[in-house]
Amino acid sequence: MHEQWQPRFHDHLSSSFLDLLRARHPDLLPDPPRLRVEAGPVPAGPVPAAPVGTTILALKYRDGVLMAGDRQATEGYQVAHRRIEKIYKADDHSAIAIAGVAGPSLEMARLFQTELEHYEKVEGEGLSLEGKANKLAQMVRLNLPAALQGFIVIPIFAGYDLRRGEGRIFKYDITGGRYEELDHYATGSGGKDARNALKRLWRRDLSREDAVRAAAEALIDAAEEDVGTGGPDLVKGIFPSLKLISHGGYEEVPEDEVERACKVVLDQRRGEGRPPVGVE
C-alpha cells in the first residue's frame, strides 16, 4: 500500500523558497540593499569593474527551442573570462540564459533552480512553464534596487511547454516585466546584432542542424560588431554554448557539433562551403 504524499514544510504558508528563507534564515538571503552606496568621500583611483556577461539568444526550431550564448565575460575594456557558461538548466524542460553583471546573474540562475525544486517538493508537482516564467519575473523585480545601481541582470527563459506541445521563449526588463517572443530573441551587449541576424536566418520549422547553424551565425555576427561578445576561437578551441529543449528534455549540443557549425559559417563567408540557412 502506497503512503499518501505529504508536503514538506507544511507549517509554511508559501511554496516559495525565498519566502521560506525570509521566515527561517533571512541572513542567507541575497540582499540588494547591501549594495547601496552611502554618501561619503570618493575613493582614490578607479573603481574595479565587475565582470559582465554579454550575448545570449533563443530561437524556436522544429522540435522545441534552442538557447545559445557566447563564452566571454568582460571587465571594462578587458576580457575577464573566456569560457564562462551563460545557459543553465532550470529543470528537465526549461533553461535560463543570463546577461548582465556576472555575479548577480549566476546567483539568480542558481536560486531560480532551487526555487523550482523547492516548489515541486512542497506541492508534489512542478510549476507550469508559464508559472516558471512568472516566478523568474518576480526574482528579476526583486533585483531592481541593485539594477538601479548598475548590477543589472537580464535573463532569457525558454522551455518546452508539455501542455501546448511547443517551445516557448520569454524575455524580461529590469523591472521584472515579462514578455513572450513568438519566434526568437537575443539580448546582451551584442543582442541587437544577433537579433538582426536571426531575422535574416530564422524560418518556421527549422531542423536541428539549421537551428544550430543559425545560432552560431548570429553569435558570430554579434562578435564581429560588438567588442564585448566573444566569437569562436579555433586555436584555443572555444566555441559558443548551445542547448536544446524538446519534448525529450534538456540537451547540450556537443562541442564538436558546434565547432562544425561555426566552421561552416566561417567557410561560407570565405566563399566556400554551404550557402546561408534557408538558401539552397
Single-letter amino acid, residue 120: E
Neighbours of 144 (CB within 10 A): 14
Q: Does 114 qualify as catalytic in the annotation?
A: no
Residue with cell 510549476: 127
Give the C-alpha separation, 269 to 6, whole Å: 59
First to last CA, the chain: 61
Q: Identify the burial level of 164 via C-beta atoms within 10 angstroms of its C-beta, where 0-12 means exposed, 13-18 middle and 19 or more buried.
A: exposed
| Residue among 54, 74, 187, 229 flagged as catalytic | 54
Angle (CA) 86-91-33 rounded to 5° is 60
Are the CB atoms for 59 and 198 separated by under 8 Å? yes
Are the CB atoms for 99 and 88 separated by under 8 Å? no
Q: What is the CA radius of gyration of the chain?
A: 20
- Nearest Cα to Cα of residue 88 among 115, 62, 63, 61: 115
Active site (catalytic) residues: 54
